[in-house]
Structure 1
Amino acid sequence: MQNPRECALDVLIKVDKKEELSHIAISNVLEKYQFSEKRDRAFFTRLVEGTLERQITIDYVADQFSKTKIRKCKPLIRALLRMGIYQILYMDQVPDSAACNEAVKLAKKRGFSRLSGFVNGVLRNISRKKDEIQYPSREKNLETYLSVAYSIPEWIIKFFQKTYDNETVEKIIASYLEERKTTLCCLISKGGKEAVRKELEAEGVTVEDGSLIENAVQISDYDFLYRLKAFREGSCYVQDESSMLCAKLASVQKEQFVMDLCSAPGGKSLYVADQLKGSGRVLSRDLTEYKTDLIEDNIDRVGFTNMESEVFDARVLDEEHIEAADVVIADVPCSGLGIMGKKNDIKYHISEEGMKDLVKLQREILANAVQYVKHGGTLIYSTCTINPAENEENFRWILDHFDFEAVDITKELPKDLKIETAQEGFIQLLPGIHPCDGFFIGKLRRK
């Protein structure tokens, strides 16, 4: 791998200019340098993810020590300052002098010699005066304090406060900063959890049981997923337990036809295809070839023959499949407020206006989704957000406008998961409260 700091700089500039989403940009670099030193790859990943994760806090600190506000700096200088400050404040293993010196070198290398002194001055000043940094007062303004402390836009905190008390809000936003292990779903048809555990542990991977789903494991102490035999040979795939629970609640039976309308990368489709034990048919759709390629990669790797992918716009009614499906899964595009800990740039891109537009899109998709369900069949509605307008309100909209009834899912939930609204047919999982992503799942039956 070339200089991991320089790779991080390039990714941060792309993300800042909204040219690429962070998880895609990071993944592309890791794939390109998959055979480089593990230490360099880990440093690069943490530097990019950490800088984005703490960006609001970093900018708040930078503005105390720079005469030019960080938002007014040139993109390259802004990225250099942010990653330099991240190393100084959050990476104890990196000497402050190295963070400063490497930033100056990169400024010069990229043609900004005349601004290298500015970069050096700001970073060294912060390094010397770490203990003098002034943060907002919790007592004077809770929302501003939480925004800077947990690096979350203040409007999102106020938005959460409309639904949850301050203690719950703080638990949710604190969870976004927690280190996450990788969660895998172990395929029953490929030997199940114990077979996967045995293979992973033989390669030195640390494996722990999941919290909600029987065939889930959490792994750590590994370098690159495609180097793991169990993953490479299709015995497991990456999926959060909230998404597994969504697929589990579909309660598929042998020989059924399942439509997954917004499927990429195909996790829920894989789960139900596995439950069907080679029978039935799972049709996994998404909007673009890029997305269906992700689904195809998973199908090819696991080798399922009862699952297929197709490019299809869920906003368009497919008359061929009206009343054809036993189960329809509509995990629609959403604001992603439940997964901001995994996709750090969501919090910088989403807006309240944008969320209102998403509700319109979701209802456009749902108006078609309900038509694909056979009478007596099941509709699963889900999102990875914690916005009531996108979740409960859409669920109730289906009940009010179409011939569906809510299904009591109380007895279908994992025994340790007690959520009162389950008897009304839906649950809202919250990061920091439940051991998974923030996720909404509703189950309905067509009359």
Structure 2
Amino acid sequence: MLETSTLSAREIALRVLRQLEAGQATCDRLLQDLLSRLSLPAVERGLAVELIYGVERWRGKIDWILAQVSRYPLVDLTPWIRNILRLGAYQLLFLERVPASAAVNEAVKLAHRHGHPGTAKLVNGVLREVERRRENWKVLEPGGDPAHTLAVTHSHPEWLVRRWIRRWGLEKAAAICATNNRIPPTTVRINTLRVDRDEVEKLLSREKVEFFRCSLFREALHLNLHGAVTALTAFQKGLFTVQDEGAILVAPLLDPAPGDRILEICAAPGGKTTHLGERMENQGEILAVDRSRRRLSLLEDNCRRLGLTLVRPLASDILSRALSEGLWEKVLVDVPCSNLGMLRRNPDARWLHREEDLERLPVTQLQILRSAGDYVAPRGVLVYATCSNEKEENEGVVSQFLQENPGFHVESVMPFLPAEAAGAVGRSGYLEVVPGCGEAGGIFAARLRRS
């Protein structure tokens, strides 16, 4: 049962931002847990979500501006006061519908609640100075080299911007950063077991939902929503599921067909699982393995809503316990990754990692891929996927796996993609979707065949 909340949108946003900075969970997880427990008016709920995602998206730029006007380094302030300043500054700089007086006054109230009269005075002074110099912030000149300037103006970690400039050049790196800061639409994949795209479009039109068609995949739409997608009739009837446009391209790489037996590792929360099931026309078997029981429960909820009965969820850690399920003709492994390809949809991910994580993560990813390879039958197919564009997590892991397992070889993903997505196939035959390709986030996938 939902509890009626006495917390304001700003208080909720502050608490989530405080937890995010402490590394307690991801933005999606914290918001889902909090909003599932609280009964909030739609306006307050919308403002809380806007504030949280907005601050995380623009945190780097906001921190640079705050550093120009505050006598105290942000790092010396308590996490509460630091995030109150960020909340206030975000409203002053990015939310024209919020009066400056309201942004400042509400921040001062929060500072009294989570600090003392001295910190409240500090918050008041800093935010009023941010507002007074508002015109100065429209064109920032942070100095330093182009990478530093790009990192500040587009609010990305400098180490990541430098990597992208080395790999793609300044112009493309800047374009990716700009794409990551655009608020994404809600992308939905049509449940072809129940309906076609035209019918969903008619239903959305009756509910006065703005939408446009995906450029990479025919059975998908982008929605411009002002409320929760779960409130839509089409969602409640299981006529679509929410999934990134790039991620939609992964399941078809297995070439799923009715009657197949498919093993999916790291399956939850089930976006690719349900796509496989729809392609299989709900005939056959999918063993969906994930170590998180909580996330598997989300997968089960999705399957029930979409009418899929061929999925068998299994809570298991593939690295610590072998499966007793024999070999499979088709195996999909969507490994835990840096999520750096999804910064547009998950802006907090840009602050979660450091460059050294790109040495640590591939170790685990390779271990998982090795384990997945053990379950592939002779002449079977193994698809490896991430939501990252970083080579260490992608080509690096696949290359090392192939060196260790000469019985596997790469097959081009081209024959399994719609013609509209042909430009996302790299020279080595991998799927390489970069932010800016349609409305998609960054996705990598390799199709491997066992001899």
Structure 1 range deviating more: 162-171 or 128-137: 128-137
* Alignment match of 1:164 (pick from 153, 161, 168): 168
The amino acid across from 1:45 in the alignment is V
Aligned to 2:9: 4
1:249 aligns with 2:218: no
Asked whether the 8 Å contact 2:185–2:225 carries over to 1, the reply is no
Shift of 1:150: 0.7
* Alignment match of 1:186 (pick from 184, 190, 204): 190
* Alignment match of 1:362 (pick from 337, 361, 365): 365
Aligned to 1:77: 81
Paired with 2:43 and 2:323, the residues of 1 have a C-alpha distance of 53
Aligned to 1:290: 294
Paired with 1:369 and 1:20, the residues of 2 have a C-alpha distance of 27
Shift of 1:225: 2.2
Aligned to 1:299: 303
The amino acid across from 1:25 in the alignment is L
Asked whether the 8 Å contact 1:212–1:241 carries over to 2, the reply is yes
| Secondary structure at the counterpart of residue 130 of structure 2 | helix
* Alignment match of 1:151 (pick from 129, 152, 155): 155
Q: How does 1:27-426 map to 2 (within 5 A)?
A: 27-33=32-38, 36-133=40-137, 135-136=140-141, 140-316=144-320, 318-322=322-326, 324-402=327-405, 403-419=407-423, 422=426, 424-426=428-430
| Secondary structure at the counterpart of residue 324 of structure 2 | helix
Note closer, same or farther for the CA distance 1:93–1:135 as it changes in structure 2 (3 Å cut).
same
Which string of whole-angstrom CA distances, capped at 9 and with x for unpartnered residues, describes residues 226-272 of structure 1? 21121122221111121110001211122111111011111111001
Paired with 2:409 and 2:308, the residues of 1 have a C-alpha distance of 32
Structure 1 range deviating more: 107-116 or 414-423: 414-423
User: What RMSD over aligned residues (CA atoms) do the two structures have, in Å?
Assistant: 1.9
Shift of 1:60: 0.6
Shift of 1:40: 2.0
Asked whether the 8 Å contact 1:283–1:310 carries over to 2, the reply is yes
Shift of 1:433: 4.1
| Secondary structure at the counterpart of residue 312 of structure 2 | strand
Paired with 1:33 and 1:224, the residues of 2 have a C-alpha distance of 14
The amino acid across from 1:86 in the alignment is Y
The amino acid across from 1:115 in the alignment is T
Paired with 2:115 and 2:64, the residues of 1 have a C-alpha distance of 27
Paired with 2:108 and 2:285, the residues of 1 have a C-alpha distance of 57
Which string of whole-angstrom CA distances, capped at 9 and with x for unpartnered residues, describes residues 10-53 of structure 1? 1111112222321222223333345x432222211111111111
Aligned to 2:29: 24
| Secondary structure at the counterpart of residue 389 of structure 1 | helix
Asked whether the 8 Å contact 2:239–2:306 carries over to 1, the reply is yes
Paired with 1:201 and 1:319, the residues of 2 have a C-alpha distance of 47
The amino acid across from 1:28 in the alignment is D
Q: Scaled by the length of structure 1, what TM-score is found?
A: 0.94
Structure 1 range deviating more: 380-389 or 391-400: 391-400
Shift of 1:319: 4.9
Shift of 1:395: 2.0
Paired with 1:310 and 1:31, the residues of 2 have a C-alpha distance of 25
Note closer, same or farther for the CA distance 1:132–1:207 as it changes in structure 2 (3 Å cut).
closer
Shift of 1:71: 1.5
Paired with 1:215 and 1:135, the residues of 2 have a C-alpha distance of 42
The amino acid across from 1:167 in the alignment is E
Which string of whole-angstrom CA distances, capped at 9 and with x for unpartnered residues, describes residues 255-303 of structure 1? 1111110111111110011111121101111112112112112122222
The amino acid across from 2:296 in the alignment is T
Q: Percent identity?
A: 29
Paired with 1:371 and 1:210, the residues of 2 have a C-alpha distance of 36
Shift of 1:412: 2.7
Shift of 1:398: 2.9
Note closer, same or farther for the CA distance 1:228–1:319 as it changes in structure 2 (3 Å cut).
closer
Which string of whole-angstrom CA distances, capped at 9 and with x for unpartnered residues, describes residues 404-445 of structure 1? 121122233222333485563312110024531100011111
Asked whether the 8 Å contact 1:254–1:277 carries over to 2, the reply is yes
Q: Scaled by the length of structure 2, what TM-score is found?
A: 0.94
Paired with 1:397 and 1:421, the residues of 2 have a C-alpha distance of 21
Which string of whole-angstrom CA distances, capped at 9 and with x for unpartnered residues, describes residues 284-330 of structure 1? 111121121121121222221101211111224635234x2121001
Asked whether the 8 Å contact 2:61–2:152 carries over to 1, the reply is yes
Shift of 1:171: 1.1
Count of residue pairs brought into register by the alignment:
444
The amino acid across from 2:36 in the alignment is E
Asked whether the 8 Å contact 2:61–2:153 carries over to 1, the reply is yes
Shift of 1:135: 3.0
Paired with 1:392 and 1:252, the residues of 2 have a C-alpha distance of 24
